[in-house]
Amino acid sequence: MIRLSVNINKIATIRNSRGGNMPNVLEAAINCEKYGAQGITVHPRPDERHIRYNDVREIRSKITTEFNIEGNPNPLFINLVLAVKPEQVTLVPDAHDAITSNHGWDTLKNLLFLTDMVKEFQQNGIRTSIFVDADLQMIEYAAKTGTNRIELYTEPYATEFPNDKKNAIEPFIKASQLAKSIGLEVNAGHDLNLQNLKYFAEQIPFLSEVSIGHALISDALYLGLEKTIHLYLDQLKG
């Protein structure tokens, strides 16, 4: 079964809008795990506008499912990941002022840098994943870094899905098949939701993991967190 990792950044965004500790980010992570999520994802940014570095440390000590830390590997991020030692680190090329991640790595241009990053994290027992577009050349060069996985940036799929789901999924099928053929495991994330997730999972059944935050947390406002997680897990069943 494809694993569901819940990105809890949006819960931290709500907390930070008022100060204090409501909603409690650590409690949310523990509850996501209790309700069936197989992983927790966080994406700390330098300005700590949602997840704070201290959140990452607290969550690490309290959860038992897979912990995935994603972000741009600047020195602060690298030090945090090496100190916390999550099961997985996902390298994302977002600018410090980006509202959200909006493209994958140019793995050809950044080959040496990414190779060094992958090596450093793997030497510390951390599985690596590189965030990429559904671009065959970028996937080929991601493999050259020695990474364990790629994470496909799925916003283009989500945007096109309501108009033509077959056309929307086609580049992601090709990208995933290539990745699998050259020894990479495949994760996916960004704008996946209850409308488009099942079809994505059916067409790419060998996915290892999807990371979902914004849509899932938004749905939870109406449906409750436990029910929402169960609904997302249902979409991933073969």
Question: Which residue numbers are catalytic?
Answer: 43, 70, 190
Q: How many CB atoms lie within 10 A of CB 51?
A: 26
User: Can you read off the two tokens belonging to residue 148?
Assistant: 């364990």
**What one-character DSSP code corresponds to residue 90?**
E
Q: Is 103 exposed, middle or buried (0-12, 13-18, 19+ CB in 10 A)?
A: middle
CA nearest to 90, candidates 103, 73, 113: 73
From residue 144, alpha-carbon distances to 70, 112, 169 in Å are 20, 10, 25
The residue whose two tokens read 């020894």 is 183
Closest CA to 186 of 111, 100, 104: 104
